[in-house]
Amino acid sequence: MESIIDRFFKYVEYETTSDENSDTCPSSKSQCRFAKLLKDELEYIGLTHVYMDEFGYVYGTIEANTKREVPTIGFIAHMDTSPDTSGKDVKPKIIKEYDGGKILLNEEKNIVLCPKEFPELKNYVGQDIITTDGTTLLGADDKAGIAEIVTAMEYIINNPNIKHGKIKVAFTPDEEIGRGADRFNVEKFNAKYAYTIDGGEIGELEYENFNGAYAKIKIKGVNVHPGIGKNKMKNSILMGMELNSIISSKERPANTEKYEGFYHLNHIRGNVENTEMYYIIRDHSMEEFKEKKNRIEKIVNYINDKYGENTISLEMKDQYYNMREKIEPVMEVVNIAKVAMEQVGIKPKIKPIRGGTDGARLSFMGLPCPNIFTGGHNFHGRFEYIPVQSMLRAVETIVKIVQLYEENVR
């Protein structure tokens, strides 16, 4: 327990926020500093063929210690944290033996993590919970995944009685801005299957996800003195509000669940003359995904027809697709993870990801890659937390998966 806590606390000290406005890879220099730390740590605990490439990806290997022909498997996590909330100067703290009540994150600012708002907290009474101080995100997405992988690899190396095939490890930049797989070297990684350790609560096992796209919208208005604005002023902010009002409120994240898709207005910036809007578009169904994108195009055309040609411009791009079609032909990769969880006493929760992971894109790049829990909750915000015991169970699950691949060889 102390080992994984110390490791996780060390990792979250590194500010690794990705930057969607950057054209570099990684998108922020801080990710390179963290990648260097991980490279050194993998070498220190005994992995071989450890290297950090020019784009900040970190790779490592544990050689097989069995004579049986075991498929090479990999474990992957991402280094960056979400740009939605500050990841700088993270100050984690541990609530020992949580009593089920409110958790005061920040006395000065009166920020409270409350089970009334986050009822899942009640599942962890008596456990040790790592929280933020209420001013930043925590970074469990996905530094918890990294800590769990490194801890599991260290355990496997230090316990050679655990028989296993070749194991690959990789840590990627820029997953939070949809670029985590852009420069992933699948051929050099050379694994038959892999798992992203990037899920939420304990027991999560996911092999299907949203199809995802983004829509960047720019609106040009006309500004004149409001006293003489009649028939002259075109307020780009109001045109943006009009555009958003056309999208059904039923198709927003706050009103959807399970397989239901949505439009999410992630940010809007503007004044009378210029407004920029950024949406993410999500749906599990490819048919509905295409329809959602078509609807955005129709709304943009409507606004242009109403207020004049070139009033509004649209840049829309697909980010990832539902990995289900790539996983279903090789369902053994999911079944082994399911059995691993059951054998370490965890009830698997197989459900669709209401988002995406590096694994979605990697699956389409030839590396089937379902997703496994880290144990964290409330990712991307100041109420993020993770039970230490869930992190330890993730480590156990990784080790058990490694064992099962060797045991199941015929």
Could you list the active site residues?
Answer: 80, 175
CA distances from 338 to 309, 319, 333, 389, 402 (A): 55, 28, 9, 19, 13
Q: Is 61 exposed, middle or buried (0-12, 13-18, 19+ CB in 10 A)?
A: buried
- Which SS3 state, helix, strand or coil, does residue 404 take? helix
> What sections of 130-231 are H helices per DSSP?
140-158, 186-189
Token digits of residue 364: 């389409």
Please list, residue by residue across 119-131, b when 16 or more beta carbons sit within 10 angstroms of its beta carbon and e when fewer do: eebeebeeebbbb
Phi–psi pair at 264, nearest 5 degrees: -125, 115
Select from 408, 405, 337, 407 the least CA-distant residue to 192.
405
Token digits of residue 42: 């993998």
Amino acid present at 1: M
H/E segment holding residue 267: strand 262-270
Q: Is 316 exposed, middle or buried (0-12, 13-18, 19+ CB in 10 A)?
A: middle
Token digits of residue 103: 């958790």
Rounded-to-integer distance, Cα 280 and Cα 264, Å: 5
Matching residue, tokens 């986050």: 118
